[in-house]
Amino acid sequence: MQTQTVTIFRTRKQTAPANPPGAARRWSVGEIAELLKLPFADLLYRAQQIHREHFDPNAVQLSTLLSVKSGGCSEDCGFCPQSAFHSAGVENQAMLRLETVVQAARAAQQEGAGRFCMGAAWREPSDAELASVAEMVRSVRDLGMETCVTLGMLREEHVAQLRAAGLDYYNHNLDTAPEFYGEIITTRDYQDRLDTLERVRRAGINICSGGIVGMGETLEQRAGLIAQLANLDPYPESVPINNLVKVEGTPLGDAPDLDPLDFVRTIAVARITMPGARVRLSAGRQQMSDTVQALCFLAGANSMFYGERLLTTGNPDVEHDRALLDKLGMYPFTEKT
């Protein structure tokens, strides 16, 4: 079997949290591509077996995402309606007040969410902006919720401030494979993302990092994304898999649809290669049928964004999600696990 070389990022083990189960396994792009090509039933069977070895198969972690500052981002990500380079109708929004964020977190907690994620449309935060977000982190943690933020690139001193505030997770997606990255983003390079993840890991903060599929990448490039994530040392504790949400006014607004079964395959391969991670259904769920989402859970997804919006794009409403989980006999892991 012919394999493809892939650049791997490693963190320093002495300052990183304990490796999740199976973190020592190394994967080539070729091996992952072969997984993606397995017969569908065989792939899901293997993924479900691995899933059951590490998690309650009927429990799902619920997260809610709030945009604390929207629009005007100086990055040119081809998928993002918040980029200042695109005309997608997203207005610039100043940072939300602390009281507004805490109120939203409290409401999410009452609806069953165990983790509250806060996102801001920045290339990287200023000192003052970072200080405001750190206060949000402290206040949300005081409610008894896990916290996650996504703020773009971080300097060492900003990572230290977030660590001192008690941040549980930092989200910084790799988005796609290194070989395809330049087709999607030109205002920063792949190493910028890896450097931020390394700083976060060294500080002892959990990593939430995944990517987006359906942006026109090949199967091999999709395999390259999974290889990058799976070979992080250790791999991320949370792995959000996003299905491209096509927004008019962005360069990818008319990208061809990804076959839903290919999305399910991506979930299954993420589960096989990162057995101890929370694999999260993220953007794109609003466009998925209940059947496709059920297949994703069967393939090993055990986390989902819960609430009516993901930053600036829609998400299934809470009542629909509750009905779906009830039909599947699933429940929030914080309640019964």
Is cis: bond before 316, omega within 30 of 0?
A: no
Q: Of the listed 115, 188, 193, 208, which one is catalytic?
A: 208
Crossing angle of helices 219-230 and 29-36, in 10° steps, is 120
Question: Is 296 an active-site residue?
Answer: no
CA distance 313 to 184: 19
Cα separation, 14 vs 235, in Å, equals 15
Catalytic entry in 46, 271, 278, 280 = 280
Selected catalytic residue, list 12, 25, 46, 117: 117
Catalytic: 280? yes
77 is an active site residue: yes
Catalytic residue among 46, 77, 193, 265: 77
313-314 vs 309-310, strand pairing mode: antiparallel
Distance CA 170, CA 209 (A): 8
Nearest alpha-carbon partner for 335 in 61, 57, 54: 61
Catalytic residue among 148, 193, 222, 278: 148
Q: Which entry of 46, 80, 193, 296 is annotated as an active-site residue?
A: 80
Q: Which of 314, 311, 282 is nearest to 69 (CA)?
A: 311
Active site residues: 73, 77, 80, 117, 148, 208, 280
